[in-house]
Each structure stands twice: as C-alpha cells, then as structure tokens.
Structure 1
Amino acid sequence: MKLEQPERSTRAGLTPKEARELFRAGLSVPTAGYSAGYAQANLIIVPKDLAFDVLLFAQRNPKSCPILGVLEAGQTSNELLVDGDIRTDLPKYTVYENGEKIAEPTDLTEYWRDDLVTFIVGCSFTFEAALIENGISIAHIDHGTNVPMYKSSIRSASAGSLTGPMVVSMRPIPAAQVADAVRITSRYPAVHGAPVHVGNPEEIGITDLGKPDFGDAPLMPDGAIPVFWACGVSPQAAVMESRPTLAIGHAPGHMLITDARDSQYQVP
C-alpha cells in the first residue's frame, strides 16, 4: 500500500524518529518542512579508499560541505540518528558508478558494503524554520515542491581525485526581506550559512532558473529576488565529474532528518 504524505502541520510536528520510520516504510518525498526544529543533512557515502579525498574536499569547501558527522566503514548509525539506519531511513538515495547515476533506490541494503564510509553534511533545510519564524516564506514548502538546485560556475576547491562545480540551492526572497534572510542564515555556518550570491543568476553561470539541475523548477513571486546558498549536493557533482567507481548520496531534497536540534548549529 502506497503511503500518503502527512498534512503540512502534521509532518512539521513529527519527531525525527517518526519521520525516519515513515521513510523506512516506503514514503518517498522531499523532506523540507518535516520535523521542525531538527537539523536535516546531506549524505555522501564512499568506499574507504576514497574517504580521505572526501574529507579533504569537505575541509577545503566548508561552505558547501560542512561535516556534521562521519560513520566509520560499515557503520550504519550514530548519535545523529539514534536507533536509525543510514541504509533505510532516507526517503530516496542516488547511486553512482563511474560517475553515472545507476539507481535511485529507497533502500540501500542491496548496495551496502562493509567498506563504505558515510559523511553526514549540513543542509540548508535546517535554517528554513528560522526564516519562516521571521516572516520569510519558503516557496518550495508553500507549494509542496522540491527546492531548485543548480550547478554553478563557481568551482569547488579540488581535493585528491575529486573536482567539480559548487551546487547552489535557490529560494526566491522578497526584495525587502533579502537583508533579513542574509542575517538570519549567517547564524548557521554549519548548515551553509549566508548566501553565496544574490540576484542575477547569470553571474554564477545559471542561464535558466526554470531548468534546475536537481529539484523542481521554482515559482518566482512578483517582486522576489533569487537568492543562492551553497548546497550539500556539491560532493555529488564532484562525483559526477571525477567518476569514482562507486559513490552514494541522498537524492537531492530527500534528506536525513537527524536527532540534532537546529539550535545546536546556531551561533549568536
């Protein structure tokens, strides 16, 4: 039986454990708006022999790849998902072989190997609750769509075998509220922090906002300005360009909901 997505108010009130149980049972939807007050996270999972390159890539690109935690080879849970399982508790994953996407499963069990190392990376969904609390609407939550994400012309710093573009997520923000959005999100450096670009998308190599590389096409309200944040899909863009034999990520917009509170990643 196909699981139905809960109403917006219901999904916001789910505990992380309750949300993960829904995803484990087969619900496959973007996670924006789920478990308000709890941090969401990106994943990049690689064989142990590539793990140092990913760690170095994250260290050199902290804006797009802020690491919240690492699971050792074969490990499937830690304090960020107590009683959870990294192989089953996201709504959807992406599997790459030699840089090509080969599957988008809802369960990684058949792909799992004991040499796989999981990096849990901060996600901008974490600061969306703070934006909403300050009267800034989030279009993709309001319309029940996935956040639009784009490969930009900004290059990530290379590390070992990994190189690729910075991926950015975009939220249309009313012009009068852009300064507030910058101020609010700058207090969350562990989940991408302040925007990397405001305004004309062509300045960062995006020629058509209506054709994102990941996620859904945005709805741009009158008077809104496109605002771009660094995105934790950047390691997957590096995988697509650098073509390692195997890598696994979350499906963009389908995040790990952690047991960590948003407030843990907020600075004064």
Structure 2
Amino acid sequence: MTDSTSDQQSPEQEAPYLRKIRSFVKREGRLTKGQQKAIDECWPKMGLEHQQGLLDFSQIFGRSAPVVLEIGFGMGKSLVAMAAAEPDKDFIGIEVHRPGVGACLTEAQAAGLTNLRVFEHDAVEVLADCIADNSLSRMQLFFPDPWHKKRHHKRRIVQADFAQKLRQKLQVGGVFHMATDWQNYAEYMLEVMSAAPGYKNLSVDNDYVPRPEHRPLTKFEQRGHRLGHGVWDLMFEKIN
C-alpha cells in the first residue's frame, strides 16, 4: 500500500472515524508519459468511478466469480501479479495516488489482464457507497501507513468501527488479510481484530500467519528480509 498521511482535523471532525478521518492526503504527484497513456487507454475499460454507486460485479466483469478487493495498492505490481496468478478471481484495487493508478494500469495492460478494475478514490467512501454487503471473498490491506507515534494511532485505518464496516462487505467465510512491516502496528491490528465480533483468527497460535502464497514478496520486503526486518501477516475470517 502506498504511504499515506491524514488531513489535519479538529477533534470534533475526527468522529466518527469512518466518515470523517481520512488515512491519507491525496497527492497527485507527477505522471510519466507512460502512466498517463495507460490511464487514457485503459480507464474506459478498467476504471471505476465512485459516482457509479453500488456495483454489480457480474456486470462489471462480465462473469460471476469471487471478488478480491485491495485497499491502497501503491504502484500496483503486487496487485497485478495476484490478478495474473488467480485468473479464476476478479480483483478491485483502490488507490488515491494517481501515479500509482497509472503504474498499475500500465502493468495490467502489459499483462493483458481482464480481471482487474481500479478506483482512484477514498476507500472508506467506496466501501460505503459502491460495494454491496456480503459480496467479497477477500479484503486486502498491505503495508498501510503505521502512524507510529502514539498520539497518531487514532489515524490508523484499522480501527474497531472499520473492522465492522469491512465485515459487512465480506461473505461469510471471506477473509480480511493484513500485512505490515511495523511490529507495533502488527500488535495493534492483532489487538483490534481479536476483539472484533464476527471474526476468527486463522493463525493456529491466534497471532500471525506465514505469508500466504497469494501475496507476492515485494522487492521492498526482500530487502527488509536481508536487513533482518520482520513482516507480519494477519488473516481473519468472517464467521457471521
């Protein structure tokens, strides 16, 4: 997931979390010519707009298949790799960083993918307005901004209310998969999700799971392993 920062807001504006706090500031950045070309060429087929409202996945993808949604796909390499490796599933990515959207579409176009669609919009609003309840087989949140200072923990996207909003969108048996390279955030997510009603931790030890095969090992992660840095995966299944 791309690094993100939160808007500066008053305490009154910060509640409730889901409708007020954003876990990012939208940064346009500079598009390369290739990224702009990919957006121009691919958006009519692969782009999704918040104003479309509630999505009909079978209409969007032209078939009925399990749908995986990823929040904050960064530059999109991992998301494209997953969509290519699991052609029996359909994928939706949400990202607010426009160069990341362009890079993802560039990769998707080169791979010839037909099972990937993307939003360039706030994930909280997309979830609330565009994703039907009980419709997703997997939710993915990889390497979100850890907001490592304690006074900023309220800005972390994984919160009790957020967990329940996600649970509404998952099918029974669907999985919320998180990953982070910050141990403190891993512990925080584990605490939040362990207390969240309606979920079951898929770890045999009720903590973390080994990186599943469907999550690609990124170059950033490979470098971290060489330097002795840890990465923690958490997977929680919706049970009701």
Question: Same fold by TM (over 0.5)?
Answer: no
Structure (1/2) with the larger strand percentage? 1
Structure ranking higher in helix proportion: 2
TM-score, with normalisation over the residues of structure 2?
A: 0.30
Q: Relative contact order (C-alpha < 8 Å, sep 6+): which is higher? A: 1
